[in-house]
Amino acid sequence: MGLLAPFFIAAGLIALAVPIVVHLIHRERSETVAFPSLMFLRKIPYRSVRRQKIRHWLLFVLRCLALLLLAAAFARPFLSSASQAAAAFSGGRELVVLLDRSYSMGYGDHWRRALAAARTAVDGVKTGDRATVILFAGDARAANRTTGERAALRAAVDTAQPGSGVTRYAPALKLARQFLEESPLPRREALIISDFQRAGWAAEEVSRLPSGTEVTTVSVADPAPANVSVAGVSFQRDIQAGRERVVVSARLTNHGAVALKRLPVKLELGGRDLQTVTSDIAANGAAGVTFTAFNLPDGVSRGTVRAGPDNLLADNAFHFVLSPERTLSVLLLEPVGGSADLSLYVRRALAVGDRPPFRVESRRVNQLTQADLAGRSVVVSLDAGVPAGDAGRALTEFVTGGGGLLVAMGERSGPAAFGPEAAALLPGRSGGIIERATTSGGRLTGIDVSHPVFEPFSAPRSGDFSSARFFRYRRVTLDTVNAKGAMLARFDDGAPALLERRVGRGTVLLWTSTLDNFWSDLPLQPVYLPFIHQLAKRGGGYTEAKAWFSVGQVADLTDPRTAASGNAGASERENLVAQTPSGGRVVVPPGTSRAIALNEQGFYEVRRPGEGAGTARVVAANLDLSETDFTPLDPQEFAAAVRPQARGLAGRGGEPEPVTAAEREQRQALWWYLLVGAFALLTAETILSNRLSKVTAPAS
């Protein structure tokens, strides 16, 4: 017990003399009766020698207690410890139970012990108390509405399960603070149950709990955890005898202090065991395993690599999706009377492509028919312009419907080589030839490395276009009226080099030089082959399917052609239904931007309503392995950091700021109760004094 203004107690003791004097003073009668016969006698004061004493003890005690309570109220008392404060107040408490449900809580008996601690806490809820159970991992949510019913709180705990997310304390503390701040109850408590991994703590994001909150931690961590994880997989593909063969390799990590010998590692494909190998992994080390090549089945295949078993089974599995590579069908348009060498470099570059494989055929531009475009992915016009008439209209329909067109200019690509349909397709109009042979050639500059065509060349030592020399290229007037074209690269004199335009659901690329070695030496540079592949893939709308995602990421379900053109077909105006690994259903509404948040480990199936399982798109989601870092966080340091006025964890202060006497007194506000008691005693004293006065009053 402490006093904020102790001198008021001394003043109160002095004030106690007042009721003593009042009760001991002799009072003369206030009413006198005059007798005429005595009017000439001299008045002599009566001196009493009788001993004076207190006659009304109850009235005396009430007055003394009222003065003492008033003095104590002004002295501002406070209880020096939280236990004393809790004992002094019999009001209800607001309890928030924060239960960690990250997937590391599935280690050994962690979850069983965590549930036992949570049940003990909610079973201790008494009449007048309220409690909320908050489940947290990467995010946080309340498992129940704030209530004092033990049955509802028990149900919230019993139905909780570890999830697939990683530990993040900040969202849970922020939500707990909101519940505690809104509570009208005088006592506030927060119970945090976790394995307390340091990887989940971000000191700069911490939300400290409200003042007066009692913080308790329960750690279920193992002092010496041991765990094996499948960190990832890789694939090597090739074609043999017309069938695609795949070799799967997996990376394993050992998070324990004991080396592992002959750990079984299994490859599953399509729901059946395909192969099992063994691996030795050093303590706190890593190893790799490679499975025997197998023929890839048709359609989509679900694969899983499993290692173990151990105390945490969740990260022993790594899921992936495999499907045969999509072949891009490329039609090369050659000019009338052109040499066969005109398409030599492009044909050879596409012949060695395997991700994806290319199927290449050639036609003269004057022989192009609508049947030639059936089943094609992209048409490459090599100095052949854009045909007019029926062929031009068929090419326009092909691009509008989702096909690709790559136009490379050259000697025959003057304005006459482009029919009237070209204006609706190309991002610019053909002009004259720019000669750069006398200046040692022009250079390619202003490359948009964020564009898919040039993105593979953005990393250091991934390809250099500056070494290529361009001796000739066409001048192109951009379509500035319709603003349909985007410049992806230009020459050092500012002239456009590569332009792109979206037409309907298709893509048109315009290269203002040749793709052979007649106008430039680009075909002789190392970047030529991947550059041709990127142009063909961009024109053909090819995007490499991701074999897996991580939990917490968002899988894009948008057709890339639809997103770019903004021209949604009937299929893009329908809902998509995703079935989660746990069997739930998520509806993805229509639109040009569709995505689904991956919150569970396993396989998601995405399909349109009414479609069968064979047509579903399958997405694999794997755990974020940052959760397998079991480096501990001291629960006491954690509690000190989240208490009011805390400075942070060790290295940033480590200890909470001391609470001053004034702050402690302000939180408890005992003076209010003392003041109310003093006024109650004064009221009782007034009533009693009036009654005693009537009883002792003399008759008139």
Structure confidence by residue, pLDDT tens digits, 483-531: 567 899 999 999 999 999 999 889 999 999 999 999 999 999 999 999 9
Domain-embedded: residue 558:
yes
Do 484 and 504 share a structural domain?
yes
What average pLDDT does the chain have?
84
pLDDT at 463: 83
Q: What is the pLDDT of residues 306-359, one digit of tens each?
A: 998 999 999 999 999 998 888 899 999 999 887 777 889 999 999 987 778 899
Residue 650 predicted with pLDDT over 60: no
Q: What is the CATH number of the domain that holds 289?
A: 2.60.40
Whether 420 and 345 map to the same domain: the answer is yes
- The answer on 28 and 11 residing in a single domain is yes
Same domain membership, residue 61 and residue 102: no
Q: Does any domain span residue 239? A: no
- Most confident range, picked from 15-24, 46-55, 536-545: 536-545
Q: Are residues 314 and 332 in the same domain?
A: no
**279: number of Cβ within 10 Å:** 18
Does residue 244 lie in a domain region? no
- Domain stops at, among 285, 305, 323: 323
- Read off the CATH number of the domain in which 359 is found: 3.40.50.880
Check residue 647 and give its pLDDT.
44
Give the separation between CA 233 and CA 236, rounded to whole angstroms.
Answer: 10
Specify if 467 maps to a domain.
yes
Shared domain check, 218 and 118: yes
Q: Are residues 56 and 198 in the same domain?
A: no
As a whole number of Å, the CA-based R_g of the chain is 43
> What's the predicted TM-score (pTM) here?
0.70
Total count of domains within the chain: 5
Write down which residue in 299, 323, 347 finishes a domain: 323
pLDDT the model gives residue 566: 39
Note whether residue 118 is domain-resident: yes
| 279 CA to centre of own chain | 35
What is the arithmetic mean of pLDDT over 156-162?
Answer: 96
Give the domain CATH number at 111.
3.40.50.410
Task: Please indicate, yes or no, whether residues 28 and 104 belong to a single structural domain of this protein.
Answer: no
Tell me what the mean pLDDT of segment 381-410 comes to. Answer: 93
* 696 is a domain residue: no
Q: pLDDT > 70: what percent of the chain?
A: 81
> What was the pLDDT predicted at 383?
93
699 in a domain, yes or no?
Answer: no
Whether residue 23 is found in the same domain as residue 48: yes
Nearest to 322 by CA among 361, 271, 269, 362: 269
pLDDT band of residue 562 (cuts 50, 70, 90) is very low
Nearest to residue 216, comparing CAs of 176, 267, 270, 175?
176
In whole angstroms, give the CA distance from residue 686 to residue 663: 36
- The pLDDT of residue 560 is above 60: no
| Pair 292, 248: CB distance under 8 Å | no
Statement to judge: residues 425 and 486 lie in one domain: yes
Q: Name, of 25-39, 94-108, 431-445, the range with top average pLDDT.
A: 94-108
Per-residue tokens: 63: 């007055």
Which span out of 269-273, 641-645, 665-669 was modeled with the highest average pLDDT? 269-273
pLDDT, tens digit, 9 for 90 and up, residues 370-385? 999 999 999 999 999 9
- 433 with 342, same domain: the answer is yes
DSSP letter (8 states) at residue 226: -
Domain extent, residue 299, equals 249-323
Residue 237 covered by a domain: no
Specify whether 91 is located in the same domain as 213. yes
- Which positions ≥6 away from 285 have C-beta within 8 Å? 253, 254, 259
Q: Which of 76-80, 194-198, 243-247 ranks highest by mean pLDDT?
A: 194-198
The confidence score (pLDDT) of residue 25 equals 62
For the segment 674-685, what is each residue's pLDDT rounded down to a tens digit? Answer: 777 878 877 887
> Which among 14, 47, 75 is the end of a domain?
75
